[in-house]
A and B are shown apart, each in its own frame.
Chain A
């Protein structure tokens, strides 16, 4: 079997698995949301029983649950994710309007996190078990230990209330994205730093690095061309998962900094019992994860000559 055929087969298998995963997620989330109670009651709040009945008919909630799911799935296949109860607009359009700011914020955060973790991870591995390594690991530990909302508030106090150099909330300007990106980078950085350090540490202790040194190659070439290339394989996988997490899961940060993105949109949907939005968010965020994991696997296959396409990790 040629490597090209093997790659094609692998991609098809992974795509098939991605569809199956998304279908399962949509099924489970749909029924879990239904179990949380009667949506019409929830929407009507203090209003009378007649209004609850009206809402139930209006949103098709009087249909059997299997029929509701079938209708939803049929529409979702054509890209119609329903109409938001709260915004009274198509969910897909609302989502599309909010995606760019979340994308930008996530990209800023992941680039910042990589910019911090990559050099620090390499530095830590090069100074393994020495003071520099310990200090870098302490830094990673504090990033990991600090809840996101806590670091958000600390940044607000420092940059916005004290130094007054950044706006407290709002993502309309680049300045408004700096604090949220910093917070998310701080949250994402520890895992990336640790994986870089571990990968580099293993690579530096490997036979091929010893051979390279014996051949008299320059140390910088050994580190960047040989050790780092191998250390990057697990890093890509973790970075992809972290990026997926940022795309769909920066609910707390977007809410604290009033960024009108996907995370805040989901929080608002949950608060307002906006069922079509919650359901669509689960589906789209899952799709992000699945696609990013797929992309990471393919990228790893491309980078790592040892990667066996027939037996992906």
Chain B
């Protein structure tokens, strides 16, 4: 539907523009305002109840976490915590920054951290994503600027979760309660919420934002979060100059906007990767061709992943050979993988007794063009895919029930820059594990239960090698997105979709 509409808009523009002498406007940065378009409303101004990417962005703008992940280097940097150390396998000690004030003037102290974690961990409070705190057993306040966080079990991904825990002002939050806090949020972040609600939320720069952390005082005074659900309308707004920035612009529209000298289009990576899962160990039919490793290898050889990636996701998309994002800690980037070689695929199928090919059920839910391309490549080597195009939960159910032989899927790892996250989801013996390979499960478990980086790298690396050798998946490619900004706007492009608006400036 979106593509159809995008094409219609392009066509309408093509019909109307010459007749109308259409020329894009150039908006002026004179009002010191950056207007950014987003596809979804902020459901609340409390980032604990605002889900998805927009909620996370709210956490970055108005709030601060203890630790920050640099969106370019993906290294952890000090924010409200100035330093941290692992005291024992379960305990993380953090030194807190002094002199930081919340937007209402309250001092930030260790009590705020303890309050925040206690609030978020209380099931009664039903926060949107409790996953980021469920690993925490207790918080010990050693002094106003030193705390210890004790984990329930060894949690090597603790810092990845800590970056997602915005610190609340204990006194104010307790006084007003969570409902009013959602209307009038107070954080320590580089932006204050000036006006909120509905389709437009206005943030103003926090001129008193503290120095020395990973974030800074915003260069542009006002940031307007404008909800424009339709991507084609976003494009029109960009052309009219009523919006300065947007992302997730589809490739076909982005290509048109590249012709506009007043706009800058950037195709950039994300953590999201595409892949095909194969039912090898989740009660597959005894005569499933996928039980033969040669068939699985044939599927890997049959698909020209690079061609699909470039055509549908842009130049930044890269083919992956490991079952994870190349940006994640512990994800191998030097696995040889399986090159595109349909002749070899046909030979492997013949060797496995499928010289005439076979028919197999293929499930998918997100990108139909990707699915169509994959089915085309499979057909070339004699494999006929019966496509079952369904809603996400229905596809997951079919996979868990062992009914979905092949699933064309993708995974964003909830923004966690650690291969342990995706490996744990798909290869740790859970209901989403279609392989149930004891060796892989043990390796993933070994990586998940150590805080020693070398031990983890080795364990995850060995797991990925075995997954690749056994061809348990067809890893496809990374899935970049397009950012479009006014040419006069200097705004950094992240590798994890978390845009640092405070670093944006007019040229």
Q: Is A116 an interface residue (CB 8 A)?
A: no
Residue interface bits A144-156, CB-to-B below 8 A is 1, else 0: 0001011001101
Q: For residue A232, give the distance in angstroms from its CB to the closest CB of chain B.
A: 36
A86-B51, A149-B8, A161-B236 known; A41 vs B22 contact (CB < 8 Å): no
- In the bound complex, residues from chain A placing their C-beta under 8 Å from that of B414 are 45-47
Q: Is B248 an interface residue (CB 8 A)?
A: no
Q: Is A39 an interface residue (CB 8 A)?
A: yes
Q: For residue B136, give the distance in angstroms from its CB to the closest CB of chain A.
A: 14
Cβ–Cβ contact B425 & A46, under 8 A:
yes
Q: Is B321 an interface residue (CB 8 A)?
A: no
Inter-chain CA distance A35–B295, complex, in Å, is 34
A48-B131, A48-B424, A149-B5 known; A157 vs B393 contact (CB < 8 Å): no
Cβ–Cβ contact B393 & A169, under 8 A:
no
Q: Is B229 an interface residue (CB 8 A)?
A: yes
8 A Cβ contacts from B125-146 to A: 126, 128-131, 134
Cβ–Cβ contact A258 & B228, under 8 A:
yes
Query: Contacting B20 at CB < 8 Å: which of A88, A153, A157, A255?
Result: A157
Inter-chain CA distance A58–B126, complex, in Å, is 8
Residue interface bits A260-294, CB-to-B below 8 A is 1, else 0: 10001001100111000000000000000000000
- In the bound complex, residues from chain A placing their C-beta under 8 Å from that of B44 are 87-89
A37-B396, A170-B200, A260-B199 known; A51 vs B236 contact (CB < 8 Å): no
Cβ–Cβ contact A256 & B17, under 8 A:
no
Cβ–Cβ contact A258 & B230, under 8 A:
yes
- In the bound complex, residues from chain A placing their C-beta under 8 Å from that of B424 are 48
Cβ–Cβ contact B43 & A86, under 8 A:
yes
Q: Is A195 an interface residue (CB 8 A)?
A: no
Inter-chain CA distance A41–B394, complex, in Å, is 9
Inter-chain CA distance A51–B128, complex, in Å, is 11
Inter-chain CA distance A149–B230, complex, in Å, is 11
Residue interface bits A136-178, CB-to-B below 8 A is 1, else 0: 0000000000010110011011101110100111111000000
Q: Is B340 an interface residue (CB 8 A)?
A: no
Cβ–Cβ contact A154 & B51, under 8 A:
no
- In the bound complex, residues from chain A placing their C-beta under 8 Å from that of B396 are 37-38, 41
Cβ–Cβ contact B228 & A49, under 8 A:
no
- In the bound complex, residues from chain B placing their C-beta under 8 Å from that of A78 are none
A38-B393, A87-B44 known; A256 vs B431 contact (CB < 8 Å): no
- In the bound complex, residues from chain B placing their C-beta under 8 Å from that of A36 are 391, 393-394
Cβ–Cβ contact B233 & A161, under 8 A:
no
Cβ–Cβ contact A161 & B240, under 8 A:
yes
A42-B393, A46-B414 known; A158 vs B40 contact (CB < 8 Å): no
Cβ–Cβ contact A147 & B8, under 8 A:
yes
Cβ–Cβ contact A153 & B12, under 8 A:
yes
Inter-chain CA distance A37–B404, complex, in Å, is 15
A42-B392, A86-B43, A164-B25 known; A49 vs B236 contact (CB < 8 Å): no
- In the bound complex, residues from chain A placing their C-beta under 8 Å from that of B380 are none
Q: For residue B119, give the distance in angstroms from its CB to the closest CB of chain A.
A: 15
Q: Is A50 an interface residue (CB 8 A)?
A: yes
Interface-central residue, A47, A154, A157, by most chain B CB under 10 Å? A157
Cβ–Cβ contact B413 & A255, under 8 A:
no
- In the bound complex, residues from chain B placing their C-beta under 8 Å from that of A58 are 123, 126
For A94, the closest partner residue in chain B by CB is B43
Inter-chain CA distance A86–B134, complex, in Å, is 21
Q: Is A257 an interface residue (CB 8 A)?
A: yes
8 A Cβ contacts from B1-48 to A: 5, 8-9, 12-13, 16-17, 20-22, 24-25, 40-41, 43-44
For B16, the closest partner residue in chain A by CB is A157
Q: Is B198 an interface residue (CB 8 A)?
A: yes
Inter-chain CA distance A168–B241, complex, in Å, is 11
Q: For residue B10, give the distance in angstroms from its CB to the closest CB of chain A.
A: 9
Chain B, interface residues (CB within 8 Å), range: 35 or more
Inter-chain CA distance A273–B51, complex, in Å, is 12
Inter-chain CA distance A158–B23, complex, in Å, is 12
Inter-chain CA distance A129–B242, complex, in Å, is 47
- In the bound complex, residues from chain A placing their C-beta under 8 Å from that of B284 are none
Cβ–Cβ contact A258 & B227, under 8 A:
yes
Q: Is B232 an interface residue (CB 8 A)?
A: yes
- In the bound complex, residues from chain B placing their C-beta under 8 Å from that of A87 are 43-44
Cβ–Cβ contact A255 & B22, under 8 A:
no
A161-B22, A258-B233 known; A48 vs B425 contact (CB < 8 Å): yes
Inter-chain CA distance A86–B51, complex, in Å, is 7
Cβ–Cβ contact B200 & A172, under 8 A:
yes
Q: Is B418 an interface residue (CB 8 A)?
A: no
Q: For residue A84, give the distance in angstroms from its CB to the closest CB of chain B.
A: 8
Cβ–Cβ contact A256 & B130, under 8 A:
no
A49-B430, A54-B130, A256-B233 known; A158 vs B397 contact (CB < 8 Å): no
For B4, the closest partner residue in chain A by CB is A149
Q: For residue A164, give the distance in angstroms from its CB to the closest CB of chain B.
A: 7
Cβ–Cβ contact B236 & A168, under 8 A:
yes
Q: For residue A255, give the distance in angstroms from its CB to the closest CB of chain B.
A: 5
- In the bound complex, residues from chain B placing their C-beta under 8 Å from that of A167 are 242
- In the bound complex, residues from chain B placing their C-beta under 8 Å from that of A154 are 12, 16
- In the bound complex, residues from chain B placing their C-beta under 8 Å from that of A161 are 20, 22, 24, 236, 239-240
Inter-chain CA distance A38–B21, complex, in Å, is 51
Q: Is B354 an interface residue (CB 8 A)?
A: no
Query: Contacting A46 at CB < 8 Å: which of B9, B239, B397, B411?
Result: B411
Q: Is B432 an interface residue (CB 8 A)?
A: yes
Q: For residue A149, give the distance in angstroms from its CB to the closest CB of chain B.
A: 5
Residue interface bits A18-55, CB-to-B below 8 A is 1, else 0: 00000000000000000011110110011111110010
For B430, the closest partner residue in chain A by CB is A49
Q: Is B412 an interface residue (CB 8 A)?
A: yes
Cβ–Cβ contact B233 & A157, under 8 A:
no
Cβ–Cβ contact B8 & A150, under 8 A:
yes
A sample of 15 inter-chain contacts (CB < 8 A) reads A46-B413, A49-B430, A49-B432, A54-B123, A84-B43, A88-B43, A88-B44, A88-B182, A153-B5, A157-B12, A161-B20, A168-B242, A258-B226, A258-B233, A260-B198
What residues make up the interface of A, taking CB atoms closer than 8 Å to B? Answer: 36-39, 41-42, 45-51, 54, 58, 84, 86-89, 147, 149-150, 153-154, 156-158, 160-162, 164, 167-172, 255-258, 260, 264, 267-268, 271-273
Beyond A54-B123, A157-B16, A162-B20, 16 additional contacts (C-beta under 8 Å) are A41-B392, A41-B397, A42-B393, A48-B424, A49-B430, A51-B130, A84-B43, A87-B44, A147-B8, A153-B13, A154-B12, A157-B236, A161-B22, A162-B21, A168-B236, A258-B228
| Complex A-B, nearest 3 residue pairs according to Cβ-Cβ distance, in ascending order | A37-B393, A37-B394, A42-B393
